[in-house]
Structure 1
Amino acid sequence: MTPPPPLGRSRNKEGPAFEAALDDHELATVRDALARGRWADARQLLARTGDDWDRRGHRLVVLAEGPTSVAWAREWQLAEPDSPDAAALLACATVARAVHGKDTPDAARALCLAAAAMAPRDPTPWLGILILARRTGTDGERVRAFDQVRARHRDHHHAHHLMAACLAEHQDGDRDDPLHEVYDFASWAAEQAPADSPLAVLPVVAHAERYRVLARAGLEPADPARSGHWGTRRARQVMKAAFDWWLEWDVDDGTAHPRRKVDLNFLAHAKLHEGRPAEAAALLTRIGPHATHAPWSYPDRDPRKAFRAARRAALGAA
């Protein structure tokens, strides 16, 4: 799963319209150009992105989602058959089609493997395989794809979000089990990540993903406000622990680093639900005009403390 995208204007009553490019204005411009066949703009964007693997993955996934992206990626590849960027875009675009049932998973996987062979250091083709495996593969295929991404970029943001989503979808029992593997995974990943990594908030993401699964199964209210989680003291403690650990402002201009904007959104919306609109407004102002929408709540629990306490209790009972 990618970080929650910005809240846009609703297209219908079903829900809000989301801007997949987030606050990457350059990406949004190039995506529109690619839709008109100007694949050279995509080539230049990816060349400038270099080996910033998190940004490269995000940009390729967004560019790949266009309905004509496969056609223009093929044209680019015909013009430059040795371009790993063209191969990666074609692979990701075919994955997007396969996820929506418009192409075969085997074809998408083959293109991802071909792109991976052209750029062995790039985790993005393996990210494509992970996206594909989430919808069409087995647990083993998802784990293997995640391991391949992590072998190339240990702290890959998108891949960790996807694995949290995959693990959260393992529906065991009829309640939110503090021993559920998604919490163990999120705590492990946060502990392994550098101090300034967005993965520090993965335990919070795990709660959001697990709540999504439980709500879809009818085990939690579809409206998180009815669940009571936002109003509890423990929910506030979960948020505070995550953000005290990770949040800091850039000293250059006093604004949030672009990669932190999405995660700052969670804190802003938590303050809204706590009835502290002035503090929320201040945070959203610092984030900028593309503040995002937090679609889910979080269970009433500190994930790391709850997991450890439950494990100690289980060991004691044994």
Structure 2
Amino acid sequence: MTPPPPLGRHRNKDGLTFDPALDDTELATVRDALARGRWADARQLLARTGDDWDRRGHRLVVLAEAPTSATWARDWLLAEPDSPDAATLLACAGVLRCLAGKETPETAHALCLAAARLAPRDPTPWLAVLILARRTGTADERVRAFDQVRARHRDHHHAHHLMAACLAERQEGDRDDPLHEVYDFAAWAAEQAPADSPLAVLPVVAHAERYRALARAGLEPGDPARSAHWTTRRARQVMKAAFDWWLEWDIDEDTADGTDTTTAATAHPRRKVDLNYLAHAKLHEGRLAEAAALLTRIGPHVTRVPWTYPDRDPAAAFRAARRTALGAT
């Protein structure tokens, strides 16, 4: 399952960029082609993606990030007025243009509704509405958009992570509430998800998102290591959430006698948590030592990245954790 991309690219002082396409090399190639006006490549990619809704949402948002995507999506839509792929790409591009201050929320929202009419089964136009509502809408509008996504794909992980971020940002009073609604939402979503769903780690993400919101409100220090509250009671809550859902995601490819079990009924089932998600949750808590240990354990399969933390540079955090891991070996 491909994770959703971060909303925008991040650049740090050494000039390295973080690629939202992640390990989807086919997507990266098509994105470059789209930037040159070759929208037929995007049409073929999305046709091959089919109704893999998580991957489709990821690919459309990444394709929409290019500055010229809206232009080429309009050209595509002129050539194929009934194309749901063209309409949804234009909707995603319109939302990202709105977040960049280049489009009005009303225009972006209208593009999303037009795409939804052409593709009534596709959750992606409603994912775009949710991305838009997070920045420009009301709490009710976010909930309605999330419900529309979930009605079409109940385990849509990008939508769930966005809702966790939205809920975590609600703040009443001048202190944290251990019964905050984001924790209930995350626990409910994890319980509802299938056993092999990445949503199982949402309770951990909820704690990380909540700390981010508290730090932004000035109720916790920007560095979690300086927070006595976080490193004591809250740390225990986070670790409990982690271990409640902690099961490795790997499937053993071979048994002791060399029999291949990956295609047989005896294969080990995919389990609840992808350790990549937990590692990146640690990164965004600022707990680099623990993240480094996880990244080392995962090895070359680190493909999951955070996407709901616009104030942090995941590329820099990733490199820092890797340096820590290499120094410990």
Please indicate, yes or no, whether the TM-score normalized by the shorter chain is above 0.5: yes
Q: Which whole-Å CA distance do the structure 2 matches of 1:84 and 1:138 have between them?
A: 27
Q: Which residue of 2 aligns with 1:315?
A: none
Q: Which residue of 2 aligns with 1:243?
A: 246
Q: Which residue of 2 aligns with 1:119?
A: 119
Query: Which segments of 5 or more consecutive residues in structure 2 lack a partner in the other structure?
Result: 255-261, 263-269, 313-329
Q: 1:273 to 1:114 in 2, by over 3 A?
A: closer
**C-alpha offsets along residues 7-62 of structure 1, whole Å, 9 cap, x if unaligned?**
x995328x984321222222122112211111111111111110000110111111
The one-letter amino acid paired with 1:102 is: K
Q: 1:71 to 1:207 in 2, by over 3 A?
A: same
Q: Which whole-Å CA distance do the structure 2 matches of 1:100 and 1:39 have between them?
A: 23
Q: 1:227 to 1:25 in 2, by over 3 A?
A: farther
Matches within 5 A, 1:129-140: 129-140=129-140
Q: Which residue of 2 aligns with 1:287?
A: 301
**C-alpha offsets along residues 168-192 of structure 1, whole Å, 9 cap, x if unaligned?**
1111122221111111111111111
Q: Which residue of 2 aligns with 1:69?
A: 69
Q: Which whole-Å CA distance do the structure 1 matches of 2:282 and 2:167 have between them?
A: 26
**C-alpha offsets along residues 192-238 of structure 1, whole Å, 9 cap, x if unaligned?**
11111111111111111111111111111111222254685554333
Native 8 Å contact 2:35 2:68 kept in 1: yes
Deviation at 1:287, TM superposition (A): 1.9
Native 8 Å contact 2:279 2:295 kept in 1: no
More deviation in 25-34 or 162-171?
25-34
Q: Which residue of 1 aligns with 2:217?
A: 217
Matches within 5 A, 1:49-68: 49-68=49-68
Deviation at 1:265, TM superposition (A): 2.8
**C-alpha offsets along residues 232-289 of structure 1, whole Å, 9 cap, x if unaligned?**
5554333222223xx32134489x99x947415347759x94856884353241424x
Q: Which whole-Å CA distance do the structure 1 matches of 2:12 and 2:196 have between them?
A: 36
Q: Which residue of 1 aligns with 2:318?
A: none
Native 8 Å contact 1:4 1:262 kept in 2: no
The one-letter amino acid paired with 1:12 is: K
Q: Which residue of 2 aligns with 1:21?
A: 21
Matches within 5 A, 1:179-198: 179-198=179-198
Q: Which residue of 1 aligns with 2:277?
A: 263
Matches within 5 A, 1:194-213: 194-213=194-213
Q: Which residue of 1 aligns with 2:325?
A: none
Native 8 Å contact 2:189 2:202 kept in 1: yes
Q: Which whole-Å CA distance do the structure 1 matches of 2:127 and 2:214 have between them?
A: 26
Q: Which whole-Å CA distance do the structure 2 matches of 1:188 and 1:277 have between them?
A: 26
Q: Which residue of 2 aligns with 1:301?
A: none
Q: 1:275 to 1:150 in 2, by over 3 A?
A: closer
TM-score (ref. length: structure 1)? 0.80
Native 8 Å contact 1:269 1:280 kept in 2: no
Aligned residues: 288
Q: Which whole-Å CA distance do the structure 2 matches of 1:222 and 1:69 have between them?
A: 35
Question: 3-state DSSP class of the match of 2:246?
Answer: helix
The one-letter amino acid paired with 1:133 is: A
Q: 1:158 to 1:17 in 2, by over 3 A?
A: same
Q: Which residue of 1 aligns with 2:157?
A: 157
Q: 1:212 to 1:44 in 2, by over 3 A?
A: same
TM-score (ref. length: structure 2)? 0.77
Q: Which whole-Å CA distance do the structure 2 matches of 1:66 and 1:221 have between them?
A: 35
Q: Which whole-Å CA distance do the structure 2 matches of 1:21 and 1:212 have between them?
A: 25
Question: 3-state DSSP class of the match of 2:207?
Answer: helix
Q: Which residue of 1 aligns with 2:12?
A: 11
Q: 1:90 to 1:118 in 2, by over 3 A?
A: same
Deviation at 1:4, TM superposition (A): 7.5
Native 8 Å contact 1:64 1:96 kept in 2: yes
The one-letter amino acid paired with 1:195 is: A
Q: 1:189 to 1:281 in 2, by over 3 A?
A: closer
Q: 1:185 to 1:9 in 2, by over 3 A?
A: closer
Question: 3-state DSSP class of the match of 1:206?
Answer: helix
